[in-house]
Structure 1
């Protein structure tokens, strides 16, 4: 078979297998399709099915096919991160700045601290820290991975739970939006390359200046043209960030963060997010799964994943409960919000992919983080659903 035919076989596997698992086993209650796609990517990768059937893996996922899939995955994730940036609602967060600052700060700070402690413990054994990492970069990177809340996946889950447009859903979005900005700021700090600091400073300066011009232009364009100009802006920012030594995904997030969501029709923006998830993000999930490794031993990776999951879940819940005490929330409110903010999946996986690309973490750490993100996200809906039935009055609380 030629490369095109093998590529199409790979696409057939990528699109059909997760869908069949999701539909036949009705996993929606604990594992939405996105989570099933991520798990399927892990199973299809070299650590599981590839290890059991190496000839299958070498045939389907040969270097030429992987190169083609990676190109699609890069563009898919840039689009997704760009949309996540657009959906940030910092204006609403500013209007409720005391409540948002306290809740978001504690919901991010506690799991970050717990995750850093977990990372320090992992340093006692070799094989976890990447070859180009400084100790502080590894510790902060793993700690932030434990603190992440995935805004796009949170939106999807709250849509499914029918709370997205309710006051409670908008509150949770405010907290996640503030945390999202902090996450990308910390990532930029971790990726700061003192050998290319001039380039990075030049990129930031150019982004600020050109960003003002871009915003001026976008406000004067018809809505149909804004989509095209926005995509050109996405590609330019991603290139600039990668050239400067940050990462193309940092550029993609910045490209979206300075765009106002109300410049676009909300239904079209929701439709774009859903279509990106449907059409091209499965390729990213598969390419992510292909990067999983178990070189330090399968048991050690699972132990590390459980350790990180404990740090992540406990840190988030304790942080939100502390915020609830300060803000005098009702009984059960902090638990409900704390579990909603556990959704990690995509943004944490993107974050971990960048750390792996920059050799700050190893494939084994990446695998542990990936398992932690999947487990954390799978816990959200089963934990939140019974709470919502008991606490329906909280849905209308706007602060």
Structure 2
């Protein structure tokens, strides 16, 4: 394939990816499911699991190996923009009077699934061998198995909360706040796992990577915000130029963390966290709106690239059993742990059940973490496929479970007064 032919092939494949992902996302929303679930389903459908099984020739023609690097580049760019926006919107000050409940729910929703996931990885190593895992699992793989069950997707959860009218209710505020706290803990643990698991060729030993990563984080937290405020805000810079420079800043931060043997996701998140807000701590609409638009447009590339590694048709009997068990554990550990913690945090029975169900939402954030672990060699292709479908299943189950526990009933909904939690949802919907 000539270079000109490859470029045009990328253009054609991109057209298919964008149209298919957003069309299926629209269908998912009509079915009362998050938009992102439809995009994820489209990405998997365009991979070997569906299109590759039904029409392998067409799948190979549409997505030949030669265009893989270009699609991966679009995928990584979309991840950086998306997580840069997530980091910018992260604000733990929204906890307010619900801090005790949110912290209790966050701790339980992380510790319980973490313990169950890591414990199962140790107990069922023989079964995991049938999915391509090594005979003896390393510490990084065991911890990663726990992280895979512990993730809660804040963007998707926020979309579900908003679309169900729960944004200004006690369970809605507690769930979103707890998920934000859990994200901080989860990303930190995942960063440690990736640092310990080893970097690419030419990267230093993990001890040096920890030191260098800690130094980079400290530099970003201490110096980046005042420098950015002085250069980009006080100079009254044009918003479009400021956006371009900040995306460049996020890409540079992602490049540094990737070079340290981490993943681009951590640099993008960190860049978003250190970007200054407006006076009073409010978000800059000239920054948030285009970030969401760019992220929403390009995220389908991430789903398609991730879907190319999902091989559902290649799962054996053990794989299907593991998928069923992991899905049940993923739902029960989150809902039970979140519900009990919410009750201990002072919520009534109905509100606590709603919080527990909401904390089981995974979606995009889970897929990002799984992709990072797969690229680091912590999970095999078959186990990666199982975990991706677990993420999809648990997200699809959230809406039916909300209806089951009566979360949408007027008798279970206590609306908070204005100013208490009304600002917990992001300005736009990436979920």
* 1:106-185 aligned within 5 A: 106-125=108-127, 126-128=129-131, 134-164=137-167, 168-185=171-188
The change in CA–CA distance for 1:258 and 1:47 in structure 2 (over 3 A counts) is same
Name the residue aligned to 1:17: 20
User: What pairs up with 1:1-399 in 2 under 5 angstroms?
Assistant: 2-23=5-26, 28-93=30-95, 96-125=98-127, 126-128=129-131, 134-164=137-167, 168-193=171-196, 195-220=205-230, 221-222=232-233, 224=239, 226-259=242-275, 262=278, 265=283, 267-268=285-286, 270-294=288-312, 297-385=315-403, 386-396=406-416
1:278-335 deviation digits (Å, cap 9, x = unpaired):
3100111111111112486354333222211111111111112221332232121111
SS of alignment partner, residue 368 of structure 1: helix
Q: CA RMSD in A?
A: 2.7
Check whether the contact 1:7–1:60 (CA below 8 A) recurs between aligned residues: no
Cα distance change on mapping 1:103 and 1:140 into 2, 3 Å: same
Contact 1:200 1:241 in 2 (8 A): no
- When structure 1 is superposed on structure 2, of 10-19 and 60-69 the one drifting more is 10-19
Secondary structure of 1:313's aligned partner: helix
SS of corresponding position for 1:219: helix
Q: Which moved more, 1:43-52 or 1:239-248?
A: 43-52
> Measured at CA, do residues 337 and 305 of structure 1 come closer, stay the same or move farther in structure 2, by a change above 3 Å?
same
Offset at residue 268 of structure 1 (A) = 4.2
Deviation per residue, 1:344-374 (Å, 9 max, x gap) = 1111100000100010001111111110111
Larger mean Cα displacement after TM superposition, 48-57 or 237-246: 48-57
Given that 2:101 and 2:342 are in contact with CA atoms closer than 8 Å, whether structure 1 keeps it comes out as no
CA distance in 2, matches of 1:3, 1:190: 37
CA 1:269–1:335: 2 relative to 1, 3 Å? farther
Displacement of 1:8: 2.7
Q: Give the direction of change, closer, same or farther, for the CA distance of 1:165–1:133 in structure 2 (3 Å limit).
A: farther
| CA-to-aligned-CA distance 1:36-58 (integer Å, 9 cap, x gap) | 11112112212332133221122
The whole-number CA distance in structure 2 between the counterparts of 1:390 and 1:299 is 44
Q: How far does residue 78 in structure 1 lie from its aligned partner after superposition?
A: 1.3
Provide TM-score, normalisation by structure 1: 0.90
For each residue in 1:265-284, what CA deviation from the matched residue of structure 2 results, as whole angstroms up to 9, or x when unmatched? 45445523541343100111
Change (3 A) 1:302 1:273: farther
TM-score under structure 2 normalisation?
0.83
Unmatched runs of 5 consecutive residues or more in structure 1: none
Aligned to 2:415, the other structure's residue is in SS state helix
Change (3 A) 1:159 1:324: closer
Distance (Å, rounded) in 2 between the aligned partners of 1:157 and 1:92: 18
CA contact (8 A) 1:218 1:226 kept: no
Deviates more, 1:306-315 or 1:45-54: 45-54
Gaps of at least 5 residues in structure 2 are 199-204, 422-431
For these two proteins, the number of residue pairs brought into alignment is 398
Is 327-336 or 47-56 further displaced after alignment?
Answer: 47-56
Q: 1:323 to 1:374 in 2, by over 3 A?
A: same
Q: Deviations over 1:360-398 (max 9, x none)?
A: 001111111110111111111233255222445323286
Q: Is the 8 A contact 1:108 1:147 kept in 2?
A: yes
Q: Aligned-pair distance for 1:101? A: 1.9
CA-to-partner distance for each residue in 1:126-162, whole Å, 9 max, x for gaps? 1446569953222221221111111111222223223
> For residues 289 and 135 of structure 2, what CA distance do their matches in structure 1 show?
40
Deviation at 1:198, TM superposition (A): 1.4
Q: Does the aligned pair in 2 maintain the 1:30–1:382 contact within 8 Å?
A: no
Give the SS at the match of 1:164: coil
Deviation at 1:184, TM superposition (A): 0.8
Kept in 2: contact 1:18–1:33 (CA 8 A): no
Partners of 1:128 and 1:361 within 8 A in 2: no
Deviations 1:182-229 (CA, angstroms, capped at 9, x unpaired) = 111111121124724213312321331243221112333427365344
1:303/1:4 CA distance change after superposition, 3 Å: same
* 2:429 alignment partner in structure 1: none
